[in-house]
Amino acid sequence: MGIPDLVFETPLWLALITVGVAAMEGAVIGRESRTPRYDLVGAFVLAVVLGLAGGIARDVLIGNLPVVAVRTPWYLVTVAGVTALVLLGHRFIPPLTGLWFVVLDALTLGLYTAVATGYALQAGVSVVGALFVGVTAGVIGGVLVALLRGVTPAVLVPGVFYAFIALAGAGIYAAVQPGSPAIAAVACVALVVSLRITAVRWRLGTRALPLVGDRPGGGPPA
């Protein structure tokens, strides 16, 4: 039995689950945020951004227009349905800090990265450009939501290796893709999930850059 190509033969149900998981995080942020407080439209916008921004950014960067998110109604319908579910049944949704969500979030990141990298390579983009498209698709949703909330995006400050994990996934996809695009997609998703869980399990993350003029031992120069 052959390995399914998760990039160019993605079942619609898997694509909608991927979008739904990301959109759920955005809707939960809108539902639980205290500063600022959001209304229905605000929660929906955050869900749209986290759920669809990665795919939209991918399509815009490679000129795949109109973007996939608006060619079919199902993506926006999924986001709207997830938003309604979160707003009406939020008491039944477990915290987004549990292992179950880390795994789903990692799968989403892996799929976004693999699909974006694969589409970019198919469009004739250079390998470096494809890596950029893949990482951008993986992290752009979180960056835009942070900016909408008036906070610094997590990928810019010390914390989880989110961008580096996406880059690793895009890199292995680009390396394996000439031999087998299907295996490349599976390898990308598997690597991203493994690295994400490892980073959370062992609390691994990036560190702040030293200030200019700081001595190696810490403290300002004499």
pLDDT of 222 reads: 46
pLDDT of 83 reads: 96
Nearest to 163 by CA among 131, 189, 190, 202: 131
Q: Using one digit for the tens of pLDDT, what is the confidence trace for 1-57?
A: 478 888 998 899 999 999 999 999 999 999 888 888 999 999 999 999 999 999 999
pLDDT of 112 reads: 96
Q: Read off the pLDDT band of 110 (50, 70, 90).
A: very high
Tell me what the mean pLDDT of segment 135-155 comes to.
95
pLDDT of 91 reads: 76
Q: Using one digit for the tens of pLDDT, what is the confidence trace for 18-27?
A: 999 999 999 9
Tell me what the mean pLDDT of segment 203-219 comes to.
77
Q: Percent of the chain at pLDDT above 90?
A: 74
Q: What is the pTM of this model?
A: 0.90
Q: Read off the pLDDT band of 219 (50, 70, 90).
A: low
Cα dihedral sign for 135, 138, 140, 142? negative
Contact 59, 117 (CB under 8 A): no
Tell me what the mean pLDDT of segment 83-109 comes to.
84
pLDDT of 96 reads: 67
Specify whether the backbone of 14 is left (phi greater than 0), alpha (psi in -120 to 50) or beta: alpha
Q: Where are the domains of the chain?
A: 12-201
81 or 213: whose pLDDT is higher?
A: 81
